Chains A and B, each alone.
Chain A
């Protein structure tokens, strides 16, 4: 909904909740995420964080920037927080295969160091495709867990040494189960990502509240011609995604248009919408 760049700095009192469409009344938009509010608010946030046990020792505020300034500023820790649970899903009819979400996650993992546990329900992942996003095969251990995906994911948090645990989950995710995963991730300091898959188009289960710190929805966008000056030349350029941050604890949702991960897992800025946010539908 909001990004920091379009909105001028506001006093902390403006942080009272405002969830309406932002473009109509941008002045009332909340404090730009990522900027420090007044000491009183900071104290309150810290107290809430202590109650929610967000900042486990060791994992406090370590995060991995996505590399796109606009997105990183929308996230309260300036990036994807390690030691927290994140959800990613593809949008539209792609949810069943979750190809865009998978690549998005692979790009994040590619920029971490250390081994990754990838918990599968069924084995349809193609490792050369992951390697193309920068996630090398010698870093990934796959576990086919069938129905035990979440339990195996939790097992992964009990072992220091992993950089991240990724699980592919189909169907509903209860608040209790996600809370359990979130707490386990906090205590271990390991990045936890759930790829939400669904056999049905626009599954309402994907919109139910969970305890995840962020929830991402990745949709493919039509890409421009491979050669901008010669649009009729056949070929494929870099893919484009619409990255929606549909839920963010301690931050504001947002929507951005980016270029898909390259061979080192980095997202790219879309030149023609540089510094400008796109409204989510």
Chain B
């Protein structure tokens, strides 16, 4: 199923002029500066506009109706600053063409006269509109968005498309991808909204008229949107309003023939695209600075075997170039240009920069099943979307080389998602559930846990309450009941007192857990703890919990 992100910058023309001097230090891309191939956002802004801008302005905030759908996490889409900042507008001649959020809250809107705007708002910052500069900046933003998915297109004047079909698992799912995208863009001072949906038309409409967010696959949401969501010319919209159409739903149900006769085929096409009946291709941009290879074919290709052969050729070319540049691929995009003008893409990521043609080709081949060749593929293009310098390692002639498991990690990560293949590393904490952290599978684990503290092999998270009988203050339980089964304790060891970490939360200031290892009549061993030290009620409520199994 196709999934498309539509990104909308409501106040792009004014926001892009705002050079985030402070934010430039904190680049949105952690890999910034390491490799010339990883785009970072801070170098995307047009340079020509910078001289007319005051540098000490506050970043603009998002409109507060922003993304009401997603309520998970603390204000996931909130930006760095909450201050509305200075009002800014751009003008063409004497007419206001765009306003930023601060100006909009003070009653300004596009289409006003400049004099009227200046009389309404004191201290208005006025820029000359620069549509060509806007287009260039938008294009650069689109190039940066290739980090999320291979198929990115700019959607002038103020939007982007990203076809994330098959790429979301690399970012931990659609919601997390969207959150990450919005966070990084907003950190650059751009007001932004985004939506994911099945078709470009729906994503476009939800981003602009529905507050953004993730539209579940197959959900019909267009009916309630105003007809402006259909991307029709202003004149046509005005005529439709005269005819009494305000919402998309009634328009879609109206008899099609008279409408087409009156307004032409565009209206029907837009309605069909909104309903998902008509495929709407997006023409991806190809960033020129990336290592890539393209092969065009005399006859359209259809079979997986043919694709595999081409992949082998493409990967060889690309790996040769990577070797000359001293780089290894971190992310590869393979684009299939179909005869019907649409483009399909597959994307793979690697755990470590690599240029082993066989390995990369194998990973690409594994994802071939996701490609729908349609009537045939007339060209294929392989792009290195991200690359890092390859570190050459010294090998020892004496000791046997440690086995290389990076290929395995790559294949599992491409299958399950990077977040689901990991190592577990120690963390300096006495609280058991905080003493482990997940680290990427290819990073080394340093240190260990104290060997003299017995720890269970399975942990219940969260701990489950049990009914226990025990003498206070520090005797182990005589018996406890868990899941309606009573266990009589035969042997026990403890307590091991673990104090709360007062630097984490106020509630842990004096809280204490007393842990006991107990063995029941059958020999099963449990890890129980009592909240509180057994005498002082401030340290806990003396309830018992089961936390693990030995």
Chain A residues with a Cβ under 8 A of chain B: 92-94, 97-100, 102-103, 106, 114-115, 117, 124-133, 136-138, 140-146, 148, 152, 155-156, 158-162, 219-223, 225-226, 234-237, 239-240, 263
A126–B412 contact, CB under 8 A?
no
User: Which of A100, A117, A236, A239 touches B492 (beta carbons < 8 Å)?
Assistant: A236
- Which A residues are CB-close (under 8 A) to B454? 132
Q: Is B252's beta carbon under 8 Å from chain A?
A: no
A142–B411 contact, CB under 8 A?
no
- Which A residues are CB-close (under 8 A) to B424? 127, 137, 140, 142
A106–B457 contact, CB under 8 A?
yes
Bound form: Cα–Cα A161–B405 in Å: 7
Distance of A94 from chain B, by nearest CB (Å): 6
A160–B403 contact, CB under 8 A?
yes
B493–A223 contact, CB under 8 A?
no
Q: Is B404's beta carbon under 8 Å from chain A?
A: yes
Distance of B326 from chain A, by nearest CB (Å): 26
Distance of A130 from chain B, by nearest CB (Å): 6
Q: Is B31's beta carbon under 8 Å from chain A?
A: no
A263–B451 contact, CB under 8 A?
yes
A159–B405 contact, CB under 8 A?
yes
- Which B residues are CB-close (under 8 A) to A161? 403-405, 408
Bound form: Cα–Cα A183–B441 in Å: 27
Interface size on B, residues (CB 8 A): 51
User: Which of A94, A152, A226 touches B412 (beta carbons < 8 Å)?
Assistant: A152
Write 12 A-B pairs (CB below 8 A) sorted by A numbering. A124-B460, A126-B459, A127-B424, A130-B457, A141-B409, A141-B422, A148-B416, A156-B408, A161-B408, A220-B522, A225-B491, A240-B523
B416–A126 contact, CB under 8 A?
no
- Which B residues are CB-close (under 8 A) to A221? 522-523
Distance of B534 from chain A, by nearest CB (Å): 16
Chain B residues with a Cβ under 8 A of chain A: 403-405, 407-409, 411-412, 415-416, 420-426, 432, 435-436, 441, 444-445, 448-449, 451, 453-461, 476, 485, 490-493, 517, 519, 521-525, 548-550
Name 16 extra pairs, CB < 8 A, besides A128-B449, A236-B491. A97-B549, A127-B449, A129-B457, A129-B550, A132-B449, A132-B451, A137-B423, A142-B424, A162-B405, A220-B523, A221-B522, A221-B523, A226-B491, A234-B491, A236-B525, A240-B523
A143–B445 contact, CB under 8 A?
no
- Which A residues are CB-close (under 8 A) to B426? 128, 137
A103–B408 contact, CB under 8 A?
no
A222–B523 contact, CB under 8 A?
yes
Number of A-B contacts (CB under 8 A): 162
A126–B432 contact, CB under 8 A?
yes
Distance of A184 from chain B, by nearest CB (Å): 14
- Which B residues are CB-close (under 8 A) to A98? 458
Closest chain B residue to A235 by CB distance? Answer: B493
Bound form: Cα–Cα A263–B451 in Å: 8
Bound form: Cα–Cα A118–B457 in Å: 14
A222–B522 contact, CB under 8 A?
yes
- With contacts A126-B548, A222-B521 taken as known, whether A103 is within 8 angstroms of B457 at the C-beta atoms is yes
Most chain B CB within a 10 A radius of its CB, from A100, A126, A143, A158? A126
A99–B550 contact, CB under 8 A?
yes
- Which A residues are CB-close (under 8 A) to B449? 127-128, 131-132
Bound form: Cα–Cα A184–B236 in Å: 65
Bound form: Cα–Cα A162–B411 in Å: 14
Bound form: Cα–Cα A124–B463 in Å: 12
Bound form: Cα–Cα A226–B455 in Å: 18
Bound form: Cα–Cα A219–B549 in Å: 13
Most chain B CB within a 10 A radius of its CB, from A92, A141, A152, A236? A236
- Which A residues are CB-close (under 8 A) to B423? 137-138, 140-142
A155–B412 contact, CB under 8 A?
yes
- Which A residues are CB-close (under 8 A) to B403? 114-115, 160-162
Closest chain B residue to A161 by CB distance? Answer: B403
User: Which of A124, A144, A159 touches B420 (beta carbons < 8 Å)?
Assistant: A144
- Which A residues are CB-close (under 8 A) to B435? 128
- Which A residues are CB-close (under 8 A) to B493? 226, 234-236
- Which B residues are CB-close (under 8 A) to A156? 408
A138–B444 contact, CB under 8 A?
yes
B522–A124 contact, CB under 8 A?
no
User: Which of A94, A117, A138 touches B524 (beta carbons < 8 Å)?
Assistant: A94
A103–B459 contact, CB under 8 A?
no
Distance of B328 from chain A, by nearest CB (Å): 19
Closest chain B residue to A237 by CB distance? Answer: B491
